[in-house]
Structure 1
Amino acid sequence: MANLKSFEELECWKAGKELRVFVSKLTKRFPLDERYALTSQIKRSSRSVTNNIAEGYGRFHFQENIQFCRQGRGSLYETLDHLLIAKEEEYIDEPDLIVGRQLIEKTTTILNGYINYLSEAKKKSLRVDTDPTN
């Protein structure tokens, strides 16, 4: 993972992008009177996933990266809630909700793996820093 040149190579970012594109296409079908309400909210929450992954990637310390990834994970659940509202309001149908839920679950799983990787890397760096034999 240390050989990555950009956050765009992270699998969690790629999965988040897939969700973001899905949401963007889906919201084009929402009623115009929702443009500044639910449409805006769901677009912002889905964009926040990849925004936070990218910002965390640009941070110097593991803990900061982890924190931004956790915020991105929160945005995944916020996006799911917006999708549930859209279904209740009959802006989307069950198949759309299923696809959205699958994309969110996929992204969450990959992002959790990345968070675990960062946590382990943080532990290793702390051991190296405190090892008196270095």
Structure 2
Amino acid sequence: MSEGDGKFAFEELDIWHEAVEFADQCLSIAENMETDRKHYRLIEQMESAATSPALNIAEGKGRFSRKEFIQFLYIARGSLFETVTLLEVFRRRNWISLEKFSNVKGHALKLGKRISALINSIKPD
């Protein structure tokens, strides 16, 4: 936790807030997907992958070494890529619109760049 302000350290990271927003955006898409929802497993996989970046950023920030934090950031970035891949499949199946896909993909691109930049900024030389 941060000292004296009643917050966890990860709550002070803008990237964590951005990842939570990404997860929320993806969950909204899942809730409003235009399908008969017989593909529950794929939808649940996307929901899990979409929340994983924020979860891994938070968990990594709670670790005691930079090396561990970096490993969790790599996992967060991988989950982001997984989410976009599932959304692309959903777009191809016409379960989500191109507009919704483009919006969330744009958000994912920005988040992915920020995760990579954070990894590079804390990597030991």
TM-score (norm 2): 0.87
Give the match for residue 8 of structure 1: 11
- 1:98 and 2:102 aligned: yes
In structure 2, give the amino acid aligned to 1:48: S
C-alpha displacement of 1:14? 1.3
Q: Is the 8 A contact 1:29 1:91 kept in 2?
A: no
C-alpha displacement of 1:27? 0.4
- 1:81 and 2:85 aligned: yes
- 1:41 and 2:45 aligned: yes
Say which is worse superposed, 22-31 or 76-85, in terms of deviation. Answer: 22-31
Which string of whole-angstrom CA distances, capped at 9 and with x for unpartnered residues, describes residues 42-75 of structure 1? Answer: 1000111111111110110100000000000000
Give the match for residue 68 of structure 1: 72
Q: Is the 8 A contact 2:9 2:62 kept in 1?
A: no
In structure 1, give the amino acid aligned to 2:13: L
Give unmatched runs, 5+ long, in structure 1: 124-134
C-alpha displacement of 1:18? 1.2
C-alpha displacement of 1:117? 1.8
Count of equivalent residues: 119
Whole-angstrom CA distance in 2 between matches of 1:29 and 1:118: 38
- 1:18 and 2:31 aligned: no
**Secondary structure of 2:121 counterpart:** helix
Report the aligned-residue RMSD: 1.8
C-alpha displacement of 1:98? 0.5
Greater gyration radius: 1
C-alpha displacement of 1:5? 4.9
Whole-angstrom CA distance in 1 between matches of 2:38 and 2:119: 38
**Secondary structure of 1:37 counterpart:** helix
